[in-house]
Amino acid sequence: MNMPAVFAVAKLSFREFFRQPEAVFWTYGFPLLMTIVLGFTFRPAAPPLIRVAVVASADAAALCAVLAKNPRLAVAVLDAATADQSLARGRIQALVRGPSGDLTVRADPMRPDAELARLQIERALRGGDWQGPHQEAEDRPGARYIDFLVPGLVGLNLLGAGMWGIGFNLTEYRSKKLLRRLFVTPLRRSEFLLGFLLSRLTLLIPESVVILAFGMLCWDVPFRGSMVAASAILIVAALSFVGLGILVASRARTVEGVAGLMNLCQLPMWLLGGSFFSTEHLDGALGAVAAAMPLTQCNNALRDLMLEPKGLADVAYPLCFLSGFAALSFTLALRLFRWT
Amino acid sequence: MKSDGLAIELRGLRKVYTRGKKTTVALDGLDLEVRRGEVFGLLGQNGAGKTTTVEICEGLTQQTAGEARILGRCWRTGMDQEIRARIGVCLQETRFFEKQTVRETLQLFAACQGRGCSVDDALALVSLQEKADARQSQLSGGQRQRLAVALAMLGEPELLFLDEPTTGLDPQSRRQLWDVLRAYQRRGSTVLLTTHYMEEAQVLCDRIGIVDHGKLIALGSPQELIRSLGADTVVEFSVGDVNALDEGAMRQLPGVQSCEIRGGKVTLTVALVHTTVPPLLAWLAQRGAELLELATRHATLEDVFVARTGRHLREEESA
C-alpha cells in the first residue's frame, strides 16, 4: 500500500476541513458552547418545585398547610374548574381534592412528573389524620398529556419544516451559484423571497392541519376554541418561522454553515418553547427568554384555542407578537440577503 | 463618437481583490467602448481580466475604481432594474435548478424578465424543442450551454453578454452555437463576448479587444489587428536540431517581422512568402540543418496575441 499517498489524502482532507472556519466552529465550537450553556442551566441546585392545586373546599386551607410542610411542593388553592384547566395545561402536576376523610389525588399517569407529584403528596400527608389519598388517573379528553402534546407538535413542526425547508434550499442554491443567474434578471429580492415564502406557506398549513386532524381523530384531542383564530395563529406562526429561516440563510455560503445557525436558533426553542412540557411557570431570565420565543407564543395560543373555549380576542397578544416577529425577520432578511 | 451611440463605456476600470493580506489586481485601468449594434469580442488568457470586466458590466461585481456605463446608465444609482430589463446574460458557468425541465426553466426566467419572446420561440432559437420536457440532468454539456444562451436571449435584450459561451464544448456544439449567435446578430443587437478561442472571435466579432494583465493592449477589427502585425503570412518549420538555430540571425532574413522558437518549432511572421522562403532555405542549408517540416499559412489573431504578449492564448494547449 502506498502509505505516503494515504497520508497525503489524510492531510488534504484535514486541510479542507480546517480551512473552512464555519465547519470547524459548528463541529467543535458549537457543541462545546451548548455543553457549557446546558451545564449552567441544569447545574446542581435545589430540585424544581412540584406544583399542586388543592380544590377549594372547607378543608382546603388545612390541607394546604399540611402539604406546604413538604418543601418540594408548591401549593395553591383553586376552584374546581381552574384546577382542572391548570392540570390540562400542565401548569400544575397534580390536584388534590377533599374531603379530609377521603382524599383523592388526580394526575395524568402519562406525564413524567405525575408519579413524583403523587409520592411527594403522600409523604406530606403521612402521619396526619388524613385518609387516603385515592389515586385517580386523569384520562378525560382535553386534560391528558396527549392533548397538551399535539398543539406543541404542531408548533414544533412549523418551526422545523419552516426553517429547514427554506434555509437549506436558499443556501444550497447560493452555494451552487444558482442565485447568481437570477440576480442578473430584473427579479427583485423581495419578489424572490416572497415567492419562496409563499411556496413554504402552502406546504406548511396543510401539514399542520394533517397533524391536528390526526390528533383529533385518533386520540380524541378536543378543539374547544375558535378555528378561525387557530388558522390565523397557524399562518402568522408559519410566516414567523419561514421569515426566521430566510433571515438565517440570508448570507450563509455553505450548507454546513446554515445548518449550524439553524440549530443555534432551534435548539433553545426545543428546550424552552413549551412543546413537550409547560414553560409558562418559568420565571426570571429563563421565563423572559421563553416568552420571547415565537414557538412559545404559538404553542400557548394553540393550546388556549384547542383546550379552552377561547376566541380571537384571547389570542390577540400572540397574534400580534407573531405578526411582528414575521414582519421583523422578513424585513431584516431583505436587508441582509445576498445573491452570491 | 457621441456617448449615446455606445452600449458600453468603461473608463479607467480598476478591480482589486483582497483576501487576507493578499491582493490581486484583476483590472488595472481598463478603457473600453462598445458601440451599439456591434459584436465585440474580449480576447485574452484565463485570468487576464475578461470575466471581471464582464461581471462589472453585468452588475455582479463592483469596480474598485473607474466608471462603467451600461446603455448610458451606471449600476447602483437606482437604475439597476431598468438596466437588467434591457440586458441578457450568459454567465461563464450557468448551473440550473436540477429538478426543473428545460421548459420550466425558461418559464421561470421569462417570468423574471417580464418581457420578450415566448418560451417556444426561445426553444426554437437554440433548437432545443425536442428536449423541452427533459430535466437538467438529462442534458448534454452542449444542450445546457444552448439553454443558457436561450435564457440570455429570452428578454430580447438590447445588449447581450456572453462569457465564454463555448468553452468546454465539442466542435460540433460550438458551431451550432455560433449559428445561433450569428442569427441573433442579424437582428442588430449589441453583443459583448469573451473567449479564448481566436477562431470564434474571428468568425463572430466585428471588433476585438485583447486584454492582458487587466489592461486593453490591442483594439480593432480582426483584419485590422492582423494587418497591424505588418506581415500577414506565417512560415512555420521544424529542423533536426532547433538549438543550432539563432533567433537573431533569422530576424535579419528578408521580410521577417518576428520570430519565435517554441517546442521544437520555429514560427516566422513574414510580409511575403516568396521573398523570405528561398533565403531561409539557403540559410538553413548553409548551417547543415535538416528541414523536417515547412508550412505557410495566413496570420491569425493567435499570432497577433503572441506578437503582443509573447504568449499563446491558451498556454496549456500550445505548450
* CA quadruple A214, A216, A217, A218: dihedral sign: positive
Window 174-213 of A, Cβ < 8 Å to B: 176-178, 180-188
Q: Look at residue B2 in the predicted model and tell me its pLDDT.
A: 45
Residue A237, pLDDT score: 96
Query: How much is the pLDDT for B1?
Result: 43
At residue A7, does pLDDT exceed 90?
no
Task: Give the pLDDT confidence of A9-50 residue by residue, as tens digits.
Answer: 666 666 777 777 776 776 667 666 765 665 566 555 667 788
Joined together, the cell numbers standing for residue A175 give 452555494
Phi, psi of A225 (to 5 degrees): -100, -155
Which residue in chain A has the smallest CA separation from B157?
A185
Q: Residue B315, exposed/middle/buried by CB under 10 A (0-12, 13-18, 19+)?
A: exposed
Lowest mean pLDDT among A314-318, B217-221, B288-292: B288-292
Higher-pLDDT residue of A130, A319: A319
Shortest distance between the Cα of B284 and any Cα of chain A, in A, equals 50
Strands A94-97 and A50-55: parallel
Rg (CA), chain A: 25
Considering only the beta carbons, identify the residue of B94, B96, B113 that sits closest to A185.
Answer: B113
**Separation of alpha carbons A181 and A73, rounded Å:** 63
Of chain A, the percentage scoring pLDDT greater than 70 comes to 87
- Assess contact for A95 and A60: CB atoms under 8 A: no
In chain B, whose CA is at the least distance from the CA of A338?
A: B60
Residue A320's Cα: distance from chain center in Å?
18
How far is the C-alpha of B245 from the C-alpha of A23, rounded, in Å?
A: 58
Greater pLDDT, A166 or B231: A166
| pLDDT computed for residue A321 by the predictor | 97
Query: How many other β-carbons are positioned within 10 Å of the β-carbon of residue B21?
Result: 5
For residue A39, what pLDDT is reported? 55
Does A338 reach chain B within 8 Å, measured CB to CB? Answer: no
Nearest to A107 by CA among A126, A128, A134: A134
Q: Has residue B318 got a pLDDT over 70?
A: no
Tell me: cis bond preceding A109? Omega within 30 of 0 counts: no
Domains and CATH numbers, chain A: 50-137 (3.40.190), 145-336 (no CATH)
Statement: residue A334 has pLDDT above 70: yes
Q: Is the Cβ of A173 closer than 8 Å to some Cβ of chain B?
A: yes
pLDDT of the residue at A31? 61
CB contact under 8 A, A181 and B95: yes
Choose the most confident range, by mean pLDDT, from A24-38, A95-109, B167-181, B274-288: B274-288
Q: Do A180 and B91 touch (CB under 8 A)?
A: yes
What's the pLDDT band for B319 if we cut at 50, 70, 90? very low
pLDDT, tens digit, 9 for 90 and up, residues A47-106: 778 899 999 888 888 888 888 888 888 899 999 889 988 888 888 889 998 777 788 888
Query: Which amino acid does the sequence have at A21?
Result: P
Q: Would the pTM of this model clear 0.90, i.e. be above it?
A: no
- With an 8 Å Cβ cutoff, are A184 and B60 in contact? yes
Residues of A in contact with B112 (CB under 8 A): 182, 185-187
* C-alpha to C-alpha distance for A171 and A179, rounded to whole angstroms: 9
Rounded Cα distance, B155 and B230, in Å: 43
When the pLDDT of each residue in chain B is averaged and rounded to a whole number, the result is 88
Residues A209-260 pLDDT 10s: 888 888 888 878 889 999 999 999 999 999 999 999 999 999 888 888 899 9
**What angle separates helix A227-248 from helix A255-272, to the nearest 10 degrees?**
140
CA dist list (Å): A85 to A78, A135, B198: 10, 19, 82
Mean pLDDT of chain A: 84
